[in-house]
Amino acid sequence: MLIDSWLHFLCKNIVVRDNDDSIFDALRSTFDVHHPTSGQIHPSWIQGGFFMKWKKTGGNITLICFGSFPKLEERLQRFIENTDNVQTALYDPYTLYAIILDELHLKMDSIVWELVSIYNRTESVSTELYLIIELT
């Protein structure tokens, strides 16, 4: 049995700077029109591609990662260092995708929390402005 599969990950990157204009810079960059299909990699996008080929009869797995990040590489390295894990992956190669998807979920979660922090700060600024106007 031969299985080929691939997974593509694309997510808008939110970067918050520590200066006073960071809130508005981040909001502007959130809605940038740069899109990775233009053929150029833009830092406002996080991309990853994963291709896996599994031959049950030969007992081997090929996993190719494009644009992965260090934490994912560390987790995959730790996984393959354990021979029991390797045996599990040879029996069920989608175990590797479980690790990949978990790391992608953690990456998305951190991006969402960055976005929430941006909007929280923006709302507090607008609320303070409203109170100042109301008091005058």
Report pTM.
Answer: 0.67
* Interatomic CA distance for residues 82 and 70, integer angstroms: 19
* pLDDT value of position 5: 92
List the one residue out of 65, 44, 64 whose CA is nearest residue 54: 64
Q: What is the pLDDT of residues 86-134, one digit of tens each?
A: 999 988 899 999 999 999 999 888 888 877 777 776 666 666 655 666 6
Angle at 114 between CA 101 and CA 111, to 5 degrees: 20
Q: Find the mean pLDDT for residues 20-48.
A: 54
CB atoms within 10 A of CB 45: 15
List the one residue out of 98, 97, 89 whose CA is nearest residue 56: 89
Structure-block tokens of residue 80? 């393959």
Q: Find the mean pLDDT for residues 66-93.
A: 90
Range of the domain at 54: 2-35+44-135
Q: What is the pLDDT of residues 35-66, one digit of tens each?
A: 444 455 555 778 889 999 998 787 789 999 99
The total number of structural domains in the chain stands at 1
